[in-house]
Structure 1
Amino acid sequence: MFVGRRSELAMMQRRYRRQGYECVVLYGRRRVGKTALIREFIRDKEAIFFTGMETTAQENLDSFSQCIYDFQGGHGTAPVYPDFQAAFDAVTGLAETRKLVLVIDEFPYLAKSYPGISSLLQVQIDHVWKDRDIYLILCGSSMSFMEKQVLGHQSPLFGRRTAQLKLQPFTIFEAQEFFPDMEPEKLAVLYGLTGGIPLYLGQMSRDATIDEDVMENFLDPMAYLFEEPSNLLKQEVREPATYNAIIQAVATGSTKVSQIATKTGLETSACVVYLKNLIGLGIIKKEYPFGESHSRKSIYLLKDSMFRFWYRFIPTHYSQIQNGMAEVAWQRIKPHLPDFMGQVFEDICLQWLWRENAGGRLPFVFDDAGRWWGGDPRTHKQTELDIVAGNAEGELLFGECKWRNELVDQDVLELLLYRGGLFQALRKEYMIFAKRGFSERCLREAAGNEHIHLVTFAQMMHR
């Protein structure tokens, strides 16, 4: 069953309804659902679907020839075209009498086996397909390749696309479509465990408890997700052991290059290169304090919360898991789950803010949002804010996110007001997000100030 991706499908459908040539470049990290999106899009259309393989140019040509042959209703093994130019000419012929979708999935693999394919496509587009009713989709998981070799200024294909789509993991609101009747708190934990990746969400059970889902999917040596991060890295990088060490260092609290270098025993300059590659894979992100995009206070965090969970907890319990002690491992991991969920909840709160912002349901429309950390000039200590959102007009919103079973009390609100006082702004709004709710004292204080907004997780998930 296909779930979500309404806006992405709508964009692709709008392009399809146009007459003439279209080229959509679709990319995103592995397992995010690119191929599923394409298959849903072409379900009711005439389409040739070819997947590039990590093999020779000849084998890719053989496969492409077979795809064209199958589209024409051929049976058995296809006659192979002498070269890709001849194959593209055949596609042109098929598009003379119909609107035709041509999908080249895993385009980076094809380009690696045949480096001239981008230039060949450029010529084909410029001299033939731009006057045909052809809808070309170029899809790939190597984000650095797609951004540089397909979308980049130096690429032969630069300027040939009519749209591009970087597919992101699901938000929690899209994940809710997987489990429409699930209790929100359980959904939030499953969302954190899977990082919003559709394939991983599909591994989770609607009926199992959190304990059962974790033990069946992460703490079972035969489970798909038990080896998934390692398998994913082996597909993408040449030195998986080094990347494993870096990811684990970040997952366990090393967020600065110097800390990561010390933890892994690598040179700082080497760390920077590895981190850049991990950013390109969508596993790690480089974050700056809100409003300080050129600050030297940047830190590295795991962008993918499934990787965050796996690298924080699985390696340290690996021997127990391999020896059938999943229950013991889980009892040691479980007390740390609320702390793990803290960052997940911050991500969820940001998603909610962006959604409400787009709908015009906030006190003002903000342009950017993120975390902030820095020095407090009054105490001369480091402090931080979970969320700061603002705009060019000088309006700021400060947010605090609390994933805990206890009701949020007045002290949390007072601290948020104090930290907001460290900023100069024409207008300030304060928002606290709570897993369970707020104490009577907190509610009373907020009731007397129109700039204070208290939001429960249940309210966030209700719309």
Structure 2
Amino acid sequence: MDREEELRALSSLSPPSFAVVYGRRRVGKTRLLREWIGNKKAVYYYSQLATHETNLNELARKASKELGDPMLARLKFESLRDLLELIALRMGDGIIVIDELGFWIRGDSRVLSELQEFVDLVLPKTNVILVVTSSLMSVFVRGVLGGGSPLYARTSLRLHLKPLSFEHLKEFMPSWKAEERLKLYSMVGGIPYYLCLARRSLEETLEYFLGLGGPLRDEKDLLLSEEFRDPSSYSSVLSALAKGYRRITEISQVTGLDKGHVSKILNTLETLGYVRKEKVLFTKRSLYEVADPVLRFWYSCIEENLELLELNFGEGLKEVSRCLEVLVPKVWEEVVGEWVVKNYSKLGFSEVGRAIKGREELDVVALNEKEKRALVVEVKWSELSDSEYEKVKKNTLRKAALIVPRKYEVEVMIACLNNEKCLKPEDVESSSQQFNPFEPHAKGL
């Protein structure tokens, strides 16, 4: 699993340090930290959604076991500061990890002030690296990551662990075709937990994921109920977005929520990484969309088929599969857009987005403002013969002439499934050096 950059960042820490690792549920924070720790001296505690006293007692018990110090488990601690101070003293040097601190914060927020006291007054005098993590982003942003949080400026490292990009799926299912991997990516994105659960084929994986007790059946409820005490309004907004209502006014109309409330919900969901704004180039407009792959798949394909999955699993599975075929082309556009950002930013193409004018639309446009060049990519989730390729290219040039301002020199790329002139899924998975559609511009990609 490609986490070399994150491992290097953690390995660069030297004591005394305070580090924060955060990211969505299932993204691999615990595995990353376990790999980094290896055989180093460490106390690793997974927080519980419990009282302050329970967490203190359990952390003391865990430290007692890890350090071989029975006294730690017998002592009564009144604050996290006192407990961490004694652990650091007993360790001498080493690593302390409090995993999923968000659960502890939700159970009792005083843990934050006690943690701050330790970081401010005790940690600098120790030879310890303290790491806290959370996937409960709503409480963690307010308490630790927010600019107003006292802990925000104390961190030596703030590491946002993100899902893997599409090209890394080949490491998990090397025998699958690239198109099948992209379909799986449309379901669960690059979230390692789900990728590790994949079966021998896409069909078997979908059946397992959606079966009784399967990992995706109730995942939406788990994600939202962990973050929000009343997730109903958030769920309604996500459902509207998945159905194509992408402006605040539209979402307000379809959900019955007032526009101000919708705006606040969208801001919160955007902070959590569940929603994003898609930039429309050459305008001031932005369109909202579901960013989290699991939530997008759930609201796009599972929500409307839940009853059928319960009554007739086989038929429900067929309907979800049909819906997935509709969703995949959109995800393929996103993958192509990410590939363009990765490979063309080094050539000065710094602004990437969709472009729309009237009924005409360009899937991906990248702009080089300095050289006044525009790369326009038409994305097709289909096979194209040479003649079809030329027709698509000609039509893309026509649309570009209508949408892209004349000051830009336009270059066109086509993404499809088979033609050697196209950018294909297997090209995205492999080294970018293997696909150079333009000369001399592509040199150095």
Same fold (TM over 0.5): yes
Q: Which residue of 2 aligns with 1:450?
A: none
TM alignment of 1:106-125, pairs within 5 A: 106-125=100-119
Deviations 1:378-421 (A, max 9, x none): xxx23322112224413332212111244452222122223333
Give the distance between the partners of 1:64 and 1:336, measured in 2 at CA: 46
Structure 2: 5+ residue stretches without partners: 432-445
The answer on 1:290 being equivalent to 2:281 is yes
> Is residue 26 of structure 1 aligned with residue 21 of structure 2?
yes
2:203 is matched with: 211
Equivalence map 1:119-268=2 (5 Å): 119-205=113-199, 207-208=200-201, 210-218=202-210, 220-268=211-259
CA apart distance, 1:268: 2.0
Find the counterpart in structure 2 of residue 436 from structure 1: 418
Residues 149-183 of structure 1 deviation map (CA, whole Å, 9 limit, x = unaligned): 32333211132111111111111122221123322
- Match of residue 68, structure 2, among 42, 63, 73: 73
Cα distance in structure 2, aligned partners of 1:291 and 1:162: 39
Question: In the alignment, what sits opposite 1:91?
Answer: 87
1:398 partnered with 2:392: no
1:389 matched to 2:369? The reply is: no
The one-letter code of the counterpart of 1:372 is A
Q: Residue 327 of structure 1 is aligned with which of 314, 319, 344? A: 314
Code of the residue aligned with 2:204 in structure 1: it is E
Closer/same/farther in 2, CA of residues 223 and 81 from structure 1, 3 Å limit: same
Q: Higher helix share goes to which structure? A: 2
Residues 229-278 of structure 1: CA distance to partner in whole angstroms, max 9, x if unpaired?
12222222222333332222211111112222222222222222222232
Q: Which residue of 2 aligns with 1:458?
A: 426
Match of 1:55 among 50, 55, 71: 50
Query: Which residue is 2:11 aligned to?
Result: 13
1:81, distance to aligned residue in structure 2 (A): 3.4
Q: State the one-letter code of the partner of 1:216.
A: Y
Q: How many corresponding residue pairs?
A: 425
Q: Residues of 1 paired with 2:109 and 2:41: CA distance?
A: 28
> Post-superposition shift, 1:75?
6.4
One-letter amino acid matched to 2:393: L
Displacement after TM superposition at 1:65 (Å): 1.0
- CA pair 49-329 structure 1, distance change in 2 beyond 3 A: same
Instruction: After TM superposition, give the deviation of residue 76 of structure 1 in Å.
Output: 11
Q: Tell me which residue corresponds to 1:446.
A: none
Task: State the distance in 2 between where 1:76 and 1:23 align.
Answer: 26
Contact 1:338/1:404 (8 A) holds in 2: no
Contact 1:66 1:80 in 2 (8 A): no
Q: How has the CA–CA distance of structure 1 residues 332 and 365 changed in structure 2, closer, same or farther, with 3 Å as cutoff?
A: same
Q: Counterpart of 2:238 in structure 1: which amino acid?
A: I
Change (3 A) 1:92 1:458: closer
Q: Would you say the 8 A contact 1:436–1:457 is kept in 2?
A: no
Distance in structure 2 (CA, Å) of the matches to 1:419 and 1:154: 47
Conservation of the 8 A alpha-carbon contact between 2:55 and 2:104: yes
Q: Per-residue deviation at 1:194?
A: 1.0
Per-residue CA distance 1:350-379 (angstroms, 9 max, x = gap): 232233247x5xxx2322322233x2xxxx
Identity %: 26
Q: Residue in 2 aligned with 1:346?
A: 333
Deviation at 1:291, TM superposition (A): 6.0
Amino acid corresponding to residue 428 of structure 2 in structure 1: M
Corresponding residue of 1:423: 405
Distance between the aligned counterparts of 2:266 and 2:185, measured in 1? 25
Distance 1:22 1:121 in 2: 13
- What one-letter code is carried by the residue in structure 1 that aligns with 2:50? T
**What letter corresponds to residue 340 of structure 2 in structure 1?**
L
Provide the secondary structure at the position in 1 that maps to 2:12: helix
CA 1:51–1:424: 2 relative to 1, 3 Å:
farther
1:45 corresponding residue in structure 2: 40
- Offset of residue 298 of structure 1: 2.1
Q: Residue 417 of structure 1 aligns to which amino acid in structure 2?
A: L
Cα drift, residue 37 of structure 1:
1.2
Q: Is the 8 A contact 2:381 2:416 kept in 1?
A: yes
